[in-house]
Chain A
Amino acid sequence: MKQIIIDITEEGEVKIETRGFTGKSCVEESRFLKELLGKELARQLTAAYYQVDGKTCVKKHLPLCG
């Protein structure tokens, strides 16, 4: 299930977490919340962000020398 989870502390700090999205849709889907609430200070991407249609897209760099 696609969910957006917003934690708001008693100090007024806001953290937004998206779950169940793949690819960049999470950023698009939660954009309205960021625009509503203020400025994005930091963003941490997770593994699902790099998935395309449910398939993990990972670039591997193999050490060829040394």
Chain B
Amino acid sequence: MSHVSKIELEINDLETLEAACASLGLQFVRNQKTYTWYGEYMGDTPLPEDFSANDLGKCDHAVRVPGATYEVGVVRKDGKYFLLWDFWRDGGLERALGPGAGKLKQAYAVERVKREARLKGYRVQQSKSVKGIRLVLSM
């Protein structure tokens, strides 16, 4: 063993996000400029960093989730993509995607690593672990 790193995930590739949505059975809609949410910021939860209440409801692309009435907005900012969504229970997104839309972030990370690792000539093995998904890259 040589070293262990913890990474804060950033979404920076739209095609991979689209593929991650497909792997979870979600519908990625390019160029949808608004996403469905409660419609009014009530001030009872913190806003995402670098976003104001006026930004909510607007997006560059959107994700439709089967069984959920609300949608996820995908917003491009400074070369990265941010996920904006309303986690109010009845909207159904947290039930489908987990806290913080973690399942979508997980699927994105898995896709991103698999695609790039194969391009670099690594063999990729995927398995389920206690805490989530494990990918093992070997030459």
A contacts, CB < 8 Å to B: 1-22, 25-27, 30, 32-34, 36-49
Question: Are A12 and B106 in touch, CB under 8 angstroms?
Answer: yes
Which residue from chain A places its CB closest to the CB of B103 in the assembled complex?
A: A10
Query: 6 smallest A-B Cβ distances: which pairs?
Result: A12-B105, A26-B2, A38-B10, A9-B132, A11-B102, A14-B7
Which A residues lie within 8 Å of B99 (CB)?
A: 11
Task: Return A49 CB to nearest CB of chain B, in Å.
Answer: 5
B26 within 8 A of A: no
Among B106, B109, B120, residue most surrounded by chain A Cβ atoms (within 10 Å)? B109
Chain B interface residue count, CB cutoff 8 Å, equals: 39
How many angstroms from the CA of A39 to the CA of B8 in the assembled complex? 5
Q: For chains A and B in complex, what number of residue pairs have CB atoms within 8 angstroms?
A: 144
Assuming the contacts A5-B135, A8-B135, A49-B2, asked whether A34 and B7 have C-beta atoms less than 8 A apart, the reply is yes
Which residue from chain A places its CB closest to the CB of B10 in the assembled complex?
A: A38
Which B residues lie within 8 Å of A7 (CB)?
A: 129, 131-134
